[in-house]
Amino acid sequence: MVQGRHDSLRKCDFSSGKWVYDQTYPLYDAATCPYLTTRVTCRKNGRPDSDYEKWRWKPHGCNIPRFDALEFLGRMRRKRIMLVGDSIMRNQWESLVCLVESVVPTDRKTVTYAGPTMAFHALDFETSIEFCWAPLLVELKKGPGNKRILHLDLIEENAKYWRNADVLVFDSAHWWTHSDKWTSWDFLMEGKHVAWDMNRMVAYQRGLRTWAKWIDLNLDPRQSRVIFRSMSPRHNRDNGWKCYKQREPLEYASHPHVPEEMMVLKGVLKRMRFPVYLQDITTMSALRKDGHPSVYTQAGGDKAVKQHETNHGSADCSHWCLPGVPDIWNEMLNAML
């Protein structure tokens, strides 16, 4: 029976399915998980509805097993799981830690910090769930005159933290596509060549190729599993949606939009020797415009609501409320593993 379940999961396209309302969700209580940052605890910040916590993802060809913290920790005994990327990957790390922490006694868990990494340790399982801040994967350094230089061909300063991890989950997209006003770098370098500007997708491809080369040269597929999570969609004004006051998922995307970043990423993964699994969460998450913090990113959300309604406030339509959508990404990750 177990073999049958594994076979059906192996053949299943997780990315194609629908959101199903399920009263038995969420899988943890935000009030009792001490690892959540304020910006994602939407109900505590005054969000009046909670249905966004109760949707699970049902792929068309199978069921994603419900997350079982003890089973997960048992399988990950003596292993390091590391999530690498930007603040949305940090969002996912908080979710994964909250999914497991309730089964670990208070005196048998701890969080440690080192450089750009933070790690949750379940001591009795000798398991660590880690987050490494590397939003562009390649190196972003300060140069003369405090200018930010993006080195498209350098990665070791970040990658040295990834060695010896048993499971690596990467994401990198948002920082490559910030608009001119919020651009992440002042200029780019490749070897001795300096570019003041470059097509964003060309730069993204070159950065990803540097990452892919490092993975191919430094990791052993018999010892490490590598998963690349696709781009988390933004529901801000730029693409015509606002997430404020959204209460339920869309049933389907009228024009399923495949971001350019996805095409670039797939092209790079295809040329790698190391078997990297693509976790495609883009289309499923695009249906969840109800899942963002919107104006509820800090305590005293009422003030933010008033500001927003008089058009002076801003809404966060990029990150996700927790409990919420990233929990489902982690259920999918668990099934992939």
Q: Does residue 87 have an active-site annotation?
A: yes
Instruction: Provide the 10 A C-beta neighbour count for residue 100.
Output: 24
Q: Which of 115, 84, 99 is nearest to 35 (CA)?
A: 99
Highest mean pLDDT among 62-71, 195-204, 247-256: 62-71
186-217 per-position pLDDT tens digit: 899 999 998 988 899 999 999 999 999 999 99
Burial of 285 (0-12, 13-18, 19+ CB in 10 A): buried
Over 50: is that where the pLDDT of 2 sits? Answer: no
How many other CB atoms sit within 10 Å of the CB of residue 249? Answer: 23
pLDDT of residue 310: 46
Phi, psi (rounded to 5 degrees) for 190: -140, 110
Q: Which amino acid is at 256?
A: P
pLDDT tens, position by position, 257-289: 778 999 999 999 999 999 999 999 999 999 999
Q: How far is CA 27 from CA 76, 255, 324, in A?
A: 19, 31, 9
Would you tell me the crossing angle of helices 325-336 and 87-101 to the nearest 10 degrees? 70
- Catalytic-labelled residue, pool 290, 316, 318, 327: 316
Say which of 87, 153, 184, 186 is annotated catalytic: 87
Q: Percentage of residues in the chain with pLDDT exceeding 70?
A: 89
Q: How far apart are CA 192 and CA 151, in angstroms?
A: 10
pLDDT number for residue 303: 58
Residue bearing the bigger pLDDT, 82 or 174: 82
Do 1 and 29 contact (CB within 8 A), yes or no? Answer: no
Nearest-angstrom CA–CA distance, 305 and 263: 37
Greater confidence (300 vs 38) lies with 38
Q: What is the pLDDT of residues 87-120, one digit of tens each?
A: 999 999 999 999 999 999 999 999 999 999 999 9
Q: Give pLDDT, residue 181.
A: 61
Q: Could you read off the pLDDT of 284-316 as tens digits, one per residue?
A: 999 999 999 988 998 765 555 555 554 545 788
25 vs 311, higher pLDDT: 25
Would you call 280 a catalytic residue per the annotation? no
What's residue 304's pLDDT?
52
Q: Which entry of 292, 318, 319, 327 is annotated as an active-site residue? A: 319
Q: State the average pLDDT over residues 166-172.
A: 97
> Which one has a higher pLDDT value, 318 or 226?
226
pLDDT of residue 177: 83
This prediction's pTM: 0.92
Q: Which two tokens stand for residue 201?
A: 């997708």
Residue 19 and residue 327 in contact, taking contact as beta carbons nearer than 8 Å: no
Q: Which helix (H) or strand (E) holds 33?
A: none
Calculate the average pLDDT of the chain.
Answer: 89
Question: What confidence category does residue 1 fall into, taking pLDDT thresholds of 50, 70 and 90?
Answer: very low
Res. 159 pLDDT band, cuts 50 70 90: very high
Confidence at residue 244, expressed as pLDDT on a 0 to 100 scale: 78
